[in-house]
Amino acid sequence: MNSIFSLFGRGIEQQEHRIGKQGLFVREWRPQHVRFPYPIVCIHGAFAGVGTWRIIAPYLARRGFRCVTFALRGHAKSKRINLSGVSCDDYVQDIAEVITTLKLDDPMLIGHSMGGTLALQYAAAYDVRGIIAIDPTIPTEVPVSRLPAWRLKYIPDVPMFRELGVPDEWELAKQFVSDMPRRYMHMFRRVLHFTESGHALQELAQGVSVPPDKLHNIPILVLAAEMRKSLVVDIPLADVKALAEQYGAEFTVIDSTTHVGIVLGIHARETARRIIEWLIHTNKRDLR
């Protein structure tokens, strides 16, 4: 495991690693004064990487929460691979490798979009402290409408968002992330050229299985973006609420946010504040 240390602003130490045969890129945000004794593991969504957490992770770290962010296999700064055939279960194994290699005992998981569902999948098989799912995709156990089976087989391994129907024109694309600050628009533009596993996208569209009884007694918070028609994601708010009800989770809507903007937009700090409030409320005895 290779490591690089650096200081990131006042009171935060940043550490980077590459781990495992998949060459997973890991970026840790370590507070100088730890308030929360359990590590927070952040899981990005499809077509993304550690940049998903560039607002939320340092915000949490400055307030005493250790955050571990990483890129799933074949994503962003992790080792480049052919993603054809890579499944959601493979991504769950990436989470397990990060947690095991870094000895992250009793972790709290935060996942965005696909990452929220991966967090639920991981928690169904391994011990976790709790789960925060931010605008997640919907597991098969939640009774909602799905894409018809005949459409699922046509989802390819896509090299860029526009092949899924996102506008190619940049000015038009900005309409789908209207809550993104200008300084992050360049990063979103790069995402238009990221690759994602068609197999994993098929699984998510159909709904991966996460049996509710496997998550019994695990604290869960579900945060939803208010502006539903953003990017290729068009999951009705009622479906996200149904997910929360199915898993006995607390449910909160972050006003005036898009699917991407809920973690990278002008209201991302509000998302972080809600996360901290929930962590404090559910772990009062463990705070330092």
Q: Say which CATH number the domain at 227 has.
A: 3.40.50.1820
Residues 6+ away with beta carbon under 8 Å from 24: 18, 70, 71, 72, 73, 78, 79, 94, 97, 98
Q: Residue 228 sits in which domain range?
A: 2-283
263 CB burial (10 A radius; 0-12, 13-18, 19+)? buried
Q: Is residue 254 part of a domain?
A: yes
Q: Is residue 222 part of a domain?
A: yes
Counted residue by residue, the chain has a size of: 288
Q: Return the minimum-mean-pLDDT range out of 23-32, 93-102, 172-181, 271-280.
A: 172-181
CB 69 within 8 A of CB 29: yes
Structure tokens at 222: 């579900």
pLDDT at 235 (0 to 100): 80
Q: Is residue 288 part of a domain?
A: no
Q: How many domains in the chain?
A: 1
Q: Residue 4: is its pLDDT beyond 60? A: no
**CA separation (Å) from 226 to 240, 257, 287?**
11, 6, 31
Q: Return the minimum-mean-pLDDT range out of 99-103, 163-167, 188-192, 267-271.
A: 163-167
Q: Residue 164: is its pLDDT beyond 60? A: no
Distance CA 17, CA 28 (A): 8
Q: Is residue 260 part of a domain?
A: yes
Q: What is the pTM of this model?
A: 0.88
Q: Is residue 130 part of a domain?
A: yes
Q: Residue 240: is its pLDDT beyond 80? A: yes
Q: Is residue 16 part of a domain?
A: yes
pLDDT band for 253, please (50, 70, 90 cuts).
very high
Element (H, E) at 225: strand 220-225
Q: Residue 43: is its pLDDT beyond 50? A: yes
pLDDT at 154 (0 to 100): 44
What mean pLDDT comes out for the span 122-134? Answer: 98
Q: Is residue 185 part of a domain?
A: yes
